[in-house]
Structure 1
Amino acid sequence: MASPALDAAVDRIRTVFAGMTSPAETGCGMCHLPSETALLRTPGAQLPDDVLRMFAHEVPSHFDDHRAVMRRILPQLAEQLADGRFAGLDAYDLTGLGRSGWQSWPGEQAGAVADFLHAWWTHTLSTQDEPWDAMTVFQACVTASSTVTPYLARWAEQPVGGRADACLELFAEWWIDELLDDRTNVVPWWCDHTRDEPLPELQAWILEHAPARLFAREADQVLLFKVGLLALPHEQRFTEETWSRAPA
């Protein structure tokens, strides 16, 4: 069940983008049937789930007006993301939105998209029983936004010992070696190629927020040790002297 905040964010998307179309859209004839592309020119027509998913991650060159297409599908897309009907969600599925440059859209539109993504992530953090599913939503939001900052901020706001900490433990277990080696696969579909992925920001955030939360979860001592190594310069993280202090 969605939260009031998430329901309100979906309603705002519906209102702001109601009736929008890509009026002259011809689409990519190699990837989409004419009947599928025609739906983009028809206000309010429901897209089949598989077509919606394909449109959501399509590259801009496959449409005459990529931004118009993203605006056209947003009400149905947000609704399905919010209620979990976007089966098998992967971060890749929101690359279309990430490439659309929605942050530069008119203020009301950009605000509605940002509000939805933030509400979706906050709701997921506080309700998701499966940590890996929560991590997928995190990756999807970052893919759609090309920023980790607001999503990390909401993560930090969650109470210590709550459901969000199970997600943090999984995050740390899965990515700590890459973060220690100054590499990242945390954001597999980074859409803003004008700047690097936010590795330093992720490293600093984990170092600041993970230790107390992992300790409260009685997480593996070696994991806690590795998180602490992020405070060291790269060349000191893997020395024999450093690892001589690791828990047995």
Structure 2
Amino acid sequence: MQLADHPSRRHLAAALDELARTFRGMTAHPDEHNCECHWGSPDELRLLKTPDAELDPDLLRRTWQAADWSHQAAVLRRILPQFARTLVSGEADAVFGPADWARAFRNSGWRKWPADHSGPVWEFLHAWWVSSLTDPETAVPAHEVFVLCAEASHTVTPWLADWAGERGPLSDRRLAEAVAEWEYDLLGDDLPWQAWEYGTEMREELSAWLTDHAAPRLRASGAPAGLLNGIRLLGLTDEDRWTDPQWPGYRY
């Protein structure tokens, strides 16, 4: 199968097209404003009020990064088709991470939008997440896409459900990569990213899922013993964890 025919890649392309159709012609609110000294010029602000005008990468970054828009939802609708393409391509500013990228979604209150607007956003996030698990040439690591999806939606539940449904060598490799990335923080009872809210709930659910679901899956795929030991330790609490003979010696 040619990569261009990969099912998850086709699904993601369709989801991006649907975002473009849904939000075509959207603009920032006519009364929207921002600080000329710290955000940008009046000409740049006018671009946000011009439908479908392409923004240069720096202007796009300053727009999604700003948290002080008066009409956050309208701003996200305006930039979302271009912003989503930038995220998927791996061209989002590398200085920032997925929790930062998710801020624009979170601040917009997109989950409360009408279904004909929120639905395509859900579809895009699910399509990108599944693609990151199954496409060998995904531009953004799966564990980073997971963080963005979790922070954008305030929950890990649907993304873990997707992960449970995607079985295969590549998805298992992504799982091993994520565990290696997250193990240190999770064993210290910290979420591996800076959550805006629901951090404790997300950490507990993620740790439980890794213990119950990921351990047998990684064991069957031949994951390294150290990785499996880290997941085993996640199933222990308090002193049982710190005093375990196979505790890796982490200090917090």
> TM-score scaled to structure 1, two decimals?
0.86
Output the aligned Cα RMSD.
Answer: 2.4
Q: Which residue in the other structure is 2:127 paired with?
A: 119
Instruction: Select 2:209's aligned residue among 202, 205, 211.
Output: 205
1:3-29 per-residue CA deviation (whole Å, 9 max, x = no partner) reads: 221122112111211111112222222
The code of the aligned residue for 1:228 comes to R
The separation in 2 between residues aligned to 1:65 and 1:99, in whole angstroms, is 10
Q: Which residue in the other structure is 1:41 paired with?
A: 49
Structure 1 vs Structure 2: percent identity of aligned residues?
A: 36
Residues 25 and 40 in structure 1, CA contact (< 8 A), matched pair in contact too = no
The code of the aligned residue for 2:17 comes to D
The separation in 1 between residues aligned to 2:138 and 2:76, in whole angstroms, is 29
Q: What is the total number of aligned residue pairs between the two structures?
A: 238
What does residue range 27-66 of structure 1 map to in structure 2 within 5 Å?
Answer: 27-29=34-36, 30-59=38-67, 61=68, 63-66=69-72
The separation in 2 between residues aligned to 1:194 and 1:171, in whole angstroms, is 20
The separation in 1 between residues aligned to 2:247 and 2:188, in whole angstroms, is 19
Residues 131 and 166 in structure 1, CA contact (< 8 A), matched pair in contact too = no
What does residue range 89-168 of structure 1 map to in structure 2 within 5 Å?
Answer: 90-91=97-98, 92-129=100-137, 133-160=141-168, 162-168=169-175
Q: Which residue in the other structure is 2:19 paired with?
A: 13
1:169 paired with 2:179, answer no
The separation in 1 between residues aligned to 2:221 and 2:137, in whole angstroms, is 15
Closer, same or farther: CA 144–245 of 1 in aligned 2, 3 Å? closer
Closer, same or farther: CA 84–184 of 1 in aligned 2, 3 Å? closer
Instruction: Select 2:10's aligned residue among 4, 9, 21.
Output: 4
- Secondary structure in structure 2 of the residue aligned to 1:237: helix
The separation in 1 between residues aligned to 2:22 and 2:241, in whole angstroms, is 50
Q: What are the ranges of 5 or more consecutive residues in structure 1 without an aligned counterpart?
A: none
Residues 142 and 174 in structure 2, CA contact (< 8 A), matched pair in contact too = yes
1:155-192 per-residue CA deviation (whole Å, 9 max, x = no partner) reads: 111114x212222112212222322232222x33x23x
- Secondary structure in structure 2 of the residue aligned to 1:120: helix
1:60-107 per-residue CA deviation (whole Å, 9 max, x = no partner) reads: x2x231111011101111233334443637211231112211101111
Q: Which residue in the other structure is 1:243 paired with?
A: 245
**CA shift for structure 1 position 129:** 4.9
**CA shift for structure 1 position 54:** 2.0
Q: What are the ranges of 5 or more consecutive residues in structure 2 without an aligned counterpart?
A: none
